[in-house]
């Protein structure tokens, strides 16, 4: 029987590993930074340049990860038939949605009985996989056009609001609904994420047999610079692509922050251009990147789901210890809302340098476990269920 394992591209794993590591910084900041319990890191009236960029750099995580999930689906499609890939995407999509409302929900709050569900990035990936399972039944060009229309056109819907409509909050507007005492927060509106994954799937063709590495590099460089320049041009004119216009601030650095402060919930066109453009450039220039650090990061990129679940529990458990040691009590980390919204934790927390130290400690601590699991997956490819972890 021929090998049904799709080829691996180290640059994709490397980029995925980098964004997974950066993602941990954002979550450590949520649980450890004193300022996170008082102000929004991107609120220009209260933030500082270091705090803003600590949050801003983590914006790369979700779009890159969703986009590359689509790319991985295309690579798998080169070894699997359309019905086989459809089945995989449907099963994995449903699995991720279930994980979001169970393991991920518990990790964020350490309160299994809390009648509150935040549907965030894992949910968005799961539903986007279900949508992609339907889209791959279409011709390739139709998938590409659909993705482009959604990503470039969804900001035309920004002025539309349907009061109390749960389906619009789920698709575009972000918000919460209460049903029989249960709160559901649609934190990641789905529409642009579906478009992002569809484009990621189409992007996978650059890794097909028809593209030599040097040709692929030239195309990725052009695409990356095109995205960055289009972002700069559209952002400059303040006409379309983001609901938050930039403006001149009291100082040049804060004017730059205003220019970069684009909308993530839902991800605007400008947000996606700003995040994916540099990602394409990185993929172009890292295809032959080697070394110990690259190998270390690739490990994280090859076990992203395992790493994601594990890092949430490790960070929250560490915050529980920190709360106990600083007089707030470990019980204060058994939450009834998202951690930043816990009023009883105002006054808790540490400086930004401490946040960075904790982040480095968490990532270093997770590496041996991720390396072990990567070995397990590599040595047991016949175990189909490992592909879901």
Q: At CA 280, angle to CA 276 and CA 283, rounded to 5?
A: 135
61 and 19 in contact (C-beta within 8 Å)? yes
Tally of structural domains, the chain: 1
Task: Report if residue 327 sits inside a domain.
Answer: yes
Question: Sign of torsion, CA 125 131 134 140?
Answer: negative
Residue spans of alpha helices (H) in the chain = 10-32, 49-56, 61-77, 82-99, 105-109, 121-135, 140-153, 166-168, 191-203, 213-237, 252-260, 269-285, 292-302, 304-325, 352-379
The answer to whether position 1 is within a domain reads no
pTM here? Answer: 0.95
Within-domain flag for 333: yes
Domain membership flag for residue 3: no
Q: What is the pLDDT of residue 384?
A: 79
Beta-bridge partner residues of 185? 118, 176
* Of the candidates 120, 136, 123, 70, the residue with the CA atom closest to the CA atom of residue 93: 123
Q: Under the phi-then-psi rule, with left for phi > 0, alpha for psi from -120 to 50, and beta for the rest, what region is 180? A: left
5 inside domain: no
β-pair type (182-186, 116-119): parallel
Q: What is the pLDDT of residue 8?
A: 64
Give the domain extent around 295.
10-388
Helix (H) or strand (E) holding 118: strand 116-119
Residue 184: inside a domain: yes
pLDDT at 355: 98
One pLDDT digit (tens) per residue for the chain, 389 residues: 334 444 568 999 999 999 999 999 999 999 999 999 999 999 999 999 999 999 999 999 999 999 999 999 999 999 999 999 999 999 999 999 999 999 999 999 999 999 999 999 999 999 999 999 999 999 999 999 999 999 999 999 999 989 889 999 999 999 999 988 999 999 999 999 999 999 999 999 999 888 899 999 999 999 999 999 999 999 999 999 999 999 999 999 999 999 999 999 999 999 999 999 999 999 999 988 889 999 999 999 999 999 999 999 999 999 999 999 999 999 999 999 999 888 889 999 999 999 999 999 999 999 999 999 999 998 887 887 887 77
pLDDT of residue 7: 53
Q: What is the pLDDT of residue 4?
A: 42
Q: Which two tokens stand for residue 195?
A: 């478009």
> Which residues 6+ apart lie within 8 Å of 43 measured at CB?
none
């Amino acid at each position: 029987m021929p090998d049904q394992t799709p080829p691996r591209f180290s640059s994709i794993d490397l980029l995925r590993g980098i964004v997974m590591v950066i993602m941990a910084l954002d979550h450590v900041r949520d649980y450890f930074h004193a300022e996170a319990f008082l102000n929004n890191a991107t609120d220009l009236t209260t933030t500082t340049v270091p705090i803003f960029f600590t949050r801003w750099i983590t914006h790369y995580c979700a779009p890159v990860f969703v986009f590359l999930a689509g790319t991985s689906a295309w690579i798998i499609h080169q070894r699997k038939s359309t019905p086989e890939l459809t089945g995989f995407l449907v099963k994995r999509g449903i699995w991720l949605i279930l994980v979001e409302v169970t393991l991920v929900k518990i990790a964020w709050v350490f309160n299994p009985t809390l009648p509150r569900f935040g549907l965030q990035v894992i949910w968005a990936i799961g539903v986007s996989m279900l949508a992609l399972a339907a889209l791959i039944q279409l011709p390739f060009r139709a998938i590409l056009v659909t993705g482009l229309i959604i990503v470039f056109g969804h900001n035309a819907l920004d002025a539309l609001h349907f009061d109390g409509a749960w389906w619009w909050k789920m698709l575009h507007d972000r918000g919460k609904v209460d049903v029989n005492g249960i709160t559901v927060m649609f934190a990641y509106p789905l529409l642009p994420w579906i478009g992002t994954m569809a484009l990621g799937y189409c992007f996978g063709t650059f890794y097909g047999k028809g593209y030599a590495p040097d040709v692929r590099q030239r195309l990725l460089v052009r695409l990356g610079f095109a995205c960055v320049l289009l972002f700069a041009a559209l952002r400059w004119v303040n006409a379309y692509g983001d609901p938050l216009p930039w403006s001149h601030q009291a100082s040049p650095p804060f004017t730059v922050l205003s220019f970069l402060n684009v909308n993530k919930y839902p991800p605007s066109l400008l947000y996606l251009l700003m995040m994916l453009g540099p990602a394409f450039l990185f993929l172009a220039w890292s295809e032959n990147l080697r070394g110990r650090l690259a190998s270390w990061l690739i490990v994280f990129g090859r076990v992203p789901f395992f790493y994601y679940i594990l890092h949430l529990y490790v960070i929250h458990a560490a915050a529980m210890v920190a709360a106990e040691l600083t007089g707030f009590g470990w019980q204060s980390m058994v939450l009834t809302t998202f951690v930043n919204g816990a009023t009883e934790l105002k006054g808790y927390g540490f400086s930004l340098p401490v946040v960075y130290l904790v982040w480095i400690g968490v990532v270093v601590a997770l590496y041996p476990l991720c390396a072990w699991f990567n070995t397990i997956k590599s040595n047991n490819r016949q175990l189909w269920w490992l592909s879901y972890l």
